[in-house]
């Protein structure tokens, strides 16, 4: 593992957040089903799992036959559970060569980042034609309802899921709502950075999206 001296402290490193994170979203079969939404050319693609946490998507991807996956996260503690290639760092300064990756995968992490600041870095490290794939929250009425239930003490007493979700949501409250506010501009930010939409699925509370980095226009002479 390597570190980056510019790294800022990341959301997701407090013991409370980590305990809440470890109680939710653990199912590998569910992750495989979600990941199968994406269309990648073949099983040899080089994938960066941006904000990989403790490597559950990496495990799911391996079971799906993808062996060339890098786990990248700000938390060395979460990464210590990952077997395989793992890199500690800040997504705003990803320590990867330009044009070096086929896929950048972001599962429930973009809301942790300053998206306008880091989207250009995703474009830099992807190969032309490479894919930026993400699964993130989106503003919707069912999400509003979910968040209201999550914050309700009564719902938390009746259904442990809400209680655990509340611990995580409180920890990342500010970034969660900052992302939902930014969401209407995400498409144009991707567009400005050279991405074209390939596939989108709107779920009741989130979005699955695959954007392709367009090769730069030819600069050679004509005629
Ligand atoms: C909600 S978790 C998602 C983890 C994983 N993708 C998953 O699906 O289980 C968000 C992750 O983003 C990481 N993170 C937060 N800020 C980061 C940053 N600036 N750079 C890299 N990782 C960051 C946290 O350490 C945490 O592991």
pLDDT tens track for 84-128:
999 999 999 999 999 999 999 999 999 999 999 999 999 999 999
Number of other residues whose CB lies within 10 A of the CB of residue 189: 14
Question: What tokens appear for 215 in the block?
Answer: 């090769």
| In-domain check, residue 171 | no
| In-domain check, residue 175 | no
Task: Tell me the C-alpha to C-alpha distance, in Å, between residue 23 and each of 16, 83, 105, 197.
Answer: 11, 20, 22, 33
Q: Which atom of ligand 1 is nearest to the CA of 109?
A: 10
Ligand 1 centroid vs 56 CA: distance in angstroms?
A: 12
- pLDDT for res 4: 54
pLDDT above 50: residue 222? no
| In-domain check, residue 72 | yes
| In-domain check, residue 58 | yes
Rounded to whole angstroms, the Cα distance separating 80 from 42 reads 29
Which amino acids bring their CB within 6 angstroms of ligand 1?
10-12, 21, 25, 51-53, 56-57, 73-75, 78, 90-92, 107-109, 112-113
| In-domain check, residue 10 | no
| In-domain check, residue 207 | yes
User: Considering its fold, how many domains does the chain have in total?
Assistant: 1
- pLDDT for res 24: 66
Ligand 1 centroid vs 82 CA: distance in angstroms?
A: 14
| CATH code of 80's domain | 3.40.50.150
- pLDDT for res 165: 84
pTM exceeding 0.85: yes
- pLDDT for res 85: 94
Dump pLDDT digits (tens) for 168-177: 888 888 899 9
């Amino acid at each position: 593992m390597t570190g980056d001296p510019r790294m800022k402290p990341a959301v997701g490193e407090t013991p409370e957040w980590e305990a809440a994170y470890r109680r939710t979203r653990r199912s590998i079969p569910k992750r495989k089903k979600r990941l199968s939404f994406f269309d990648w050319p073949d099983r040899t693609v080089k994938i960066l799992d941006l904000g990989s946490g403790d490597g559950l998507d990496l495990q799911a991807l391996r079971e799906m036959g993808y062996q060339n996956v890098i786990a990248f996260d700000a938390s060395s503690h979460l990464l210590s559970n990952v077997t395989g290639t793992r890199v500690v760092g800040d997504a705003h300064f990803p320590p990867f060569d330009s044009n070096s990756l086929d896929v950048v995968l972001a599962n429930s992490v973009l809301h942790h980042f300053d998206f306008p600041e880091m989207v250009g870095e995703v474009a830099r490290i992807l190969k032309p034609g490479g894919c930026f794939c993400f699964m993130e929250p989106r503003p919707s009425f069912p999400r509003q309802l979910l968040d209201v239930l999550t914050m309700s003490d009564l719902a938390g007493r009746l259904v442990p899921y809400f209680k655990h979700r509340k611990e995580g949501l409180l920890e990342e409250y500010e970034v969660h709502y900052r992302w939902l506010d930014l969401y209407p501009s995400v498409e144009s930010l991707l567009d400005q950075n050279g991405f074209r939409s390939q596939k989108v699925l709107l779920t009741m509370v989130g979005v699955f999206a695959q954007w392709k980095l367009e090769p730069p226009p030819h600069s050679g002479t004509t005629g």
